[in-house]
Amino acid sequence: MRLLLLLFFLSLFYSCETNEVEYAIVVHGGAGTILKKNMSDEMENAYIQKMEEAINAGYNILEKNGSSIDAVEATIKILENSELFNAGKGSVLSNAGIVEMDASIMRGDNLNAGAISGVTKIKNPISAARLVMEKSEHVFLSGKGAESFAKYENLEIVENEYFITQRRLNSLRNAKKRDSLTDNKFGTVGCVALDSDGNITSGTSTGGMTNKKWNRIGDVPIIGAGTYANNKTCGISSTGWGEYFIRNVVAYDISSQMEYNNSSIQSASKKTLKKVKDLGGSGGVVGLDSKGNITMDFNTEGMYRGYKKSNGDFKIKIYK
């Protein structure tokens, strides 16, 4: 009997060992008032399929021992190129009736980072953020300057019309009628990946808020708010009401709880999102730590989200 018990515990131990996560990827496509009752089966399927395609694009890179930077960029490009999400093509429109996009990326080994804001002609803002990180002496470029830099680095440039969709034109018309800033849906996309070298990369990309004015910058290009990565703690990508995420320094608040308070990534995320809610804000985060533990937390009705780990775990979800 005792031998059987011993064997049982040994097998448990063994299965834990083999379940160790070597690489992993987690993705969000925005949080907000996303309710099952307002979603057709067709739309739901479209979102799930695109999320799966994006996750797999990054995962396939990680599986071949590729870098988490390549994985995050590849995944986010697919979401930017899809009209479904508020990033790249399909971004919401500003008060001026154009698409103005922000993005950022950060790597957890050397804390290098790149960000851009207010760009209107760069097809894939996440690639521009990566170029700022890798090819410039700066972390954060904006507006026309960021576009000149992207052209100089031979990134693909498109006309602003490329990004504009009928759906977002309608949203802007409605927002202007109500004179409101937001429809409380935050379609920002983001991705965090851990590669087989143990390096974590986080990236986030967005069109910001419908009807935004005055070249408003949200949390997405703010290192520490929308995006943060540190191999010692975690990688985080945020989505939500940017102003509240800036004021709470959301991504870094999660990391610093892990660094200074020994919190798990899940309990840290919970505490930080509670702070956001207490101030009146809403949104969510995805992230992972160096062991591949995942957080996908939010205080809205729903968040497009999913992850895939080298131990076989794979999930895509939309609602609470």
Binding residue count for a second copy, defined by CB under 8 A: 47
46 interacts with a second copy by CB under 8 A: no
Nearest-CA neighbor of 202 among 270, 252, 277, 253? 252
Nearest-CA neighbor of 27 among 218, 239, 199? 239
277 interacts with a second copy by CB under 8 A: no
Dmax over CA atoms of the chain, in Å, equals 75
Instruction: Give yes or no for a contact between 203 and 217, defined as CB atoms under 8 angstroms apart.
Output: no
Instruction: Give yes or no for a contact between 106 and 202, defined as CB atoms under 8 angstroms apart.
Output: yes
Among 118, 125, 292, 306, binds a second copy (CB under 8 A): 118
Q: 188, 201, 210, 239: which is the annotated catalytic residue?
A: 188
The smaller minimum CB distance to a second copy, of residues 247 and 270, is found at: 247
CB of 77 to a second copy, least distance (A): 22
160 Cβ neighbours under 8 A, 6+ residues apart? 98, 99, 120, 121
Binding mask 161-190 for a second copy (x = CB under 8 A): --------------------x---------
Kindly state the tokens that stand for 222.
């703010």
Can you give the C-alpha Rg of the chain in angstroms?
19
The smaller minimum CB distance to a second copy, of residues 144 and 291, is found at: 144
161 Cβ neighbours under 8 A, 6+ residues apart? none
Binding mask 127-166 for a second copy (x = CB under 8 A): ---------xxxxxxxxxxx-xx-----------------
In the complex, the residues that contact a second copy under the rule CB under 8 A are: 106, 110-113, 117-118, 136-146, 148-149, 181, 212-218, 222-225, 228, 242-243, 246-249, 252-253, 256-257, 259-261, 279
Residues recognised as catalytic: 188
